[in-house]
Structure 1
Amino acid sequence: PSLGNRAPVELFCGLPPSTPLSFCIDTKQQRIVEVPLRTEAIATWLEELRTSIQDMHKPMTVAREQQTLRNKRMQKYARRPNFDVGNYVLRSRVDQKHYDKLLVTWVGPYQVVRADKHSFAVRHLLTGEERDVHPSRLKFYADSSLAITEELREHVSAQGMLLSVSTLNEYRWNRAKRDYEVLVSWKGLESIEDSWESTQQLRKDIPVLLTQFAASKNDQRFLQHVTAAVKHRSRRK
């Protein structure tokens, strides 16, 4: 306001003022690039600027296109599923994580009912439940002519059965596993179906019952082993 809305260069030098966008710096050539003021010259200058930017990005664009083509060629040699809709497959189920490794169990069979672009829909034989599964988690079991027998249905139903412990009977030392095993009786099953289970597994499911069983035996080494395993489990929680 003190200069009457005039630029200092006008009043002291008698020169026309420049706009804030009259020049910019070319960092590559370290020189000032002047922006023309005439409309025709501005259009030409802008077109040259756009062309220069496109040329600058062209190597990256070409490299990206080449990588896309390489990826497509790799997909041609990718392993394709060896099953189709109507076939029976096994599904991998991750039961637990042990020392940063996944313990996988194959369960099923399931029937493939739909093939999507990146997954398959499979149906449970008993419940009819459908779920989407990645092809890498499926394995061919039988074609569509598989006979669904009563034995097969019983096998599938047993995969999701939860057993309850009836009693803990005996124990023994497994030298190969370096762990104690306990003979477990299961509720609802016959005595011939009793099974030897490791304390590493029982400490996760029945830590209190396992500790009481170890305390009832006159074996200090067995009790110390079980107590240490249960405490280690508690600290990890």
Structure 2
Amino acid sequence: MYADQSLDVNEEMLAHIANQDIYLTVEAFTQHRKHATHTYEILVRWEGIEAIEDSWEPVTTMYEDVPIKLQYYVDSAADDELRQFVIQLWSHSQGRKRAESTVQPTPYHRRGKRGGDVAAQPKPPKLKRRQRRAKGNTKK
């Protein structure tokens, strides 16, 4: 590893760099505030890290990462504007999920005369008794 005395690297900087590749888990949300861009930020307490390392994170990011934990916090907070903001996030994500869905309805399949599956058009409507008789079909 390259080292240079003129870089003036101390133990605090090394500790900060060492923590950059760890995955953090949300322990709790402690506060929230309205951000200047008409969104919200939430103060996150990270599991296994000191309280001084708590950080303000966008509510939209927390909604994507830990939606259930965020919902518990929103339910306990007495802020109707925050609640409405999260409801809008939920509505937007539900609409996006529907638009991004790749699941298509399965077509009706029937057995061909030789045993293979044949994709068919939708079943023809059942004929009423009078219509069958008019076609020459006398089955009842």
Scaled by the length of structure 1, what TM-score is found?
Answer: 0.35
Match of 1:195 among 49, 55, 59: 55
Q: Give the alignment partner of residue 41 of structure 2, picking from 181, 186, 209.
A: 181
3-state secondary structure, aligned to 2:43:
strand
- Return the match for 2:25 from 149, 160, 164: 164
| C-alpha distance in 2 between matches for 1:219 and 1:145 | 51
Paired with 1:220 and 1:153, the residues of 2 have a C-alpha distance of: 43
Deviation of 1:211 after TM superposition, in Å, equals 1.6
Residues paired across the two proteins, number: 94
| Pairing of 1:203-218 with structure 2 (within 5 A) | 203-218=63-78
SS of the aligned residue for 1:178 comes to: coil
The alpha carbon displacement at 1:185 in A equals 0.7
Equivalence map 1:85-124=2 (5 Å): none
Query: Per the alignment, in what secondary structure is the counterpart of residue 27 of structure 2?
Result: strand
Structure 1 residue 221: Cα displacement: 1.5
- Rounded to whole Å, the distance in 1 between the matches of 2:50 and 2:13 is 21
Q: Compare relative contact order (CA 8 Å, sep 6+) and give the higher one, 1 or 2.
A: 2
Percent of aligned positions that are identical: 32
Query: How large is the RMSD of aligned CA atoms in angstroms?
Result: 2.5
- Structure 1 unaligned spans of 5+: 1-124, 126-143
Deviation string 1:52-95 (CA, Å, 9 cap, x unpaired) is xxxxxxxxxxxxxxxxxxxxxxxxxxxxxxxxxxxxxxxxxxxx
The runs of at least 4 aligned residues of structure 1 exceeding 6 Å deviation read none
- Other structure's SS at 1:213 match: helix
Quote the Cα distance in structure 1 between the aligned partners of 2:54 and 2:95.
31
2:41 is paired with a residue of what secondary structure? strand
- Any stretches of 5+ residues in structure 2 without a counterpart? 98-140
TM-score (structure 2 length as normaliser): 0.56
SS of residue paired to 1:172:
strand
Q: 1:1-237 alignment to 2 at 5 Å?
A: 144-146=2-4, 153-175=14-36, 177-237=37-97
Amino acid at match of 2:78: N
